[in-house]
Amino acid sequence: MGHTLLCVLGLFLLNTLPYGHAEVSNRASLTLQPNWPQIFSGEKITLRCEIDGGGDTQWTYEWKPDKLNIPPRHSEYRINSVTRSHSGEYRCKGRKDSYSSTEWSNVIRLNVSPNKPKPTLTAHNAIIPVGGTVTLTCSVRGSADWKYYWFKRTSDSSVAQPIRDGVPDSISVSQGGLYHCRGGRGDPLFFTENSDKVTIQETVSNRASLTLQPNWPQIFRGETITIRCEIDGGRDSHWTYEWTTTSSNTQSPTHSEYRIISATVSNSGEYRCKGRKDSYSSTEWSEAITLTVSSQTPKAQLRADDTDIPVGGSVTLTCSVNPSSSGWKYFWYRGKKTSEPLTTPDVVFLSTGQIRVSQGGLYWCRGGRGDPVYYTDYRDPISINTISESGICF
């Protein structure tokens, strides 16, 4: 009777356990390798089920969710190329035999992003100073364990070449170029998208300097001027040129001369230039030249030390430009403004802007300078009389 009661009680207890199974004291724990907070579509991951104190026991394994496409009795669930469909909660348990197992493990929630990440590339400066460097930083937001792969393009027509592989997120560069980066992690390597490109300019040691020709302190409307950019020690190099100005003029030449055929007030302002060796290396900007163009039209002033030429004598005529400036040559006329300028046989040239005349008539003058010659307005004429021996003026 006693044996029968024990047998019935045993069957009752067995049938009251879930599914007729007995739970063992060992604990199952689930780990994710690599243990990244964010997983991206295409990465390789492994979920591993470990049994505490179960190293000497032959275990089989069960997993949740049931949709997993894995060997049902294996301790690892390996996904070689994860997709968004793998997102969800995972659990495992170990089974000793058909009727005894561990409890379900901790839950690991897998979140798979459908898109590859795109790193951000930043530069602490866009221009490398002479002999210096610039630090570039590549980063993938909201993730971990990336190594970075760096690329540089050295001309508009070239292909980006790898320069650093599998290095930390910051590098120092000393050469100009078009840089980009990408991240990589895992085994096999999973790569991010390429970052946006960053242009880094290198400053070469050659110096740019400006000269103004003609170098007059006062420029008048209508004159022709040339600003020339010269590169120190750069004669054997093929340079292109960049210009910047505060004037309202939109001209932007790529050669060494900034030529203004007929200056206007709008050309007034500061001018600078630089020489460029290629797309990513150039000199520093030159010092500025300030150009001031006057809206005035200069006029010639004419005066005579006497308007009557005595018998056998002469008078001196003086021509000057108002407002005062430099570089002027003077052109003299007798009779009509349209006549040819006077030459040495007709007058005696004393100095710049002065002549001696011994013949009466109506005299004009004007100033001219530059190439092509820029002329001032004519001054009102002066009438010079010749006095005969009889004292009659004519």
Question: Tell me: the pLDDT tens digits for 165-182?
Answer: 999 899 999 999 999 999
> With 70 as the cut, is the pLDDT of residue 16 above it?
no
Cα angle vertex 145, ends 139, 147, to 5°?
60
Rounded-to-integer distance, Cα 297 and Cα 300, Å: 10
Question: Tell me: the pLDDT tens digits for 39-57?
Answer: 999 999 999 999 998 666 6
Summarize the confidence of residues 108-113 as an average pLDDT: 92
> With 50 as the cut, is the pLDDT of residue 6 above it?
no
Decide if 138 contacts 150 (C-beta within 8 A): yes
10: phi then psi, degrees, rounded to nearest 5: -65, -45
Residue 3 is predicted with a pLDDT of 44
Q: Say whether 373 sits in a helix, a strand or coil.
A: coil
Residue 8 is predicted with a pLDDT of 39
Burial class (CB in 10 A: 0-12, 13-18, 19+), 326: exposed
> With 90 as the cut, is the pLDDT of residue 69 above it?
no
Decide if 328 contacts 367 (C-beta within 8 A): yes
- What pLDDT band is residue 238 in, cutting at 50, 70 and 90? confident
Cis bond before residue 310 (omega within 30° of 0): no
Instruction: Give the DSSP letter string of 180-231.
Output: EEEEEETTTTEE-PPPPPEEEEEEPS--EEEEEES--S-EETT--EEEEEEE
Which of 17-26, 116-125, 244-253, 298-307 shows the lowest per-residue confidence on average (mean pLDDT)? 17-26
Cα pseudo-dihedral 139, 142, 146, 149, rounded to 10: -30
Summarize the confidence of residues 362-376 as an average pLDDT: 93
Summarize the confidence of residues 185-190 as an average pLDDT: 93
Residue 20 is predicted with a pLDDT of 53
Between 19 and 281, residue with greater pLDDT:
281
- What pLDDT band is residue 93 in, cutting at 50, 70 and 90? very high
Average pLDDT, the chain: 88
280-306 per-residue burial string, b: 16 or more CB within 10 A, e: under 16: bbbbbebeebebebbeeebbbbbebee
Residue 304 is predicted with a pLDDT of 95
**Residues above pLDDT 90, as percent of the chain:** 67
Residue 253 is predicted with a pLDDT of 86
The tokens of 177 are what? 């170029």
Q: Say whether 131 sits in a helix, a strand or coil.
A: coil
DSSP E strands, 3-72: 22-23, 28-33, 39-40, 45-51, 60-64
> With 80 as the cut, is the pLDDT of residue 11 above it?
no
> With 90 as the cut, is the pLDDT of residue 364 above it?
yes
Question: Tell me: the pLDDT tens digits for 248-307?
Answer: 887 778 899 999 999 999 999 999 999 999 899 999 999 999 999 999 889 999 999 999
Q: Tokens 């010639």 map to which residue?
A: 300
Which of 61-70, 247-256, 261-270, 348-357 shows the lowest per-residue confidence on average (mean pLDDT)? 61-70
Residue 55 is predicted with a pLDDT of 64
- What pLDDT band is residue 72 in, cutting at 50, 70 and 90? low
Residue 103 is predicted with a pLDDT of 95
Residue 220 is predicted with a pLDDT of 93
Residue 166 is predicted with a pLDDT of 93
The reported pTM is 0.71
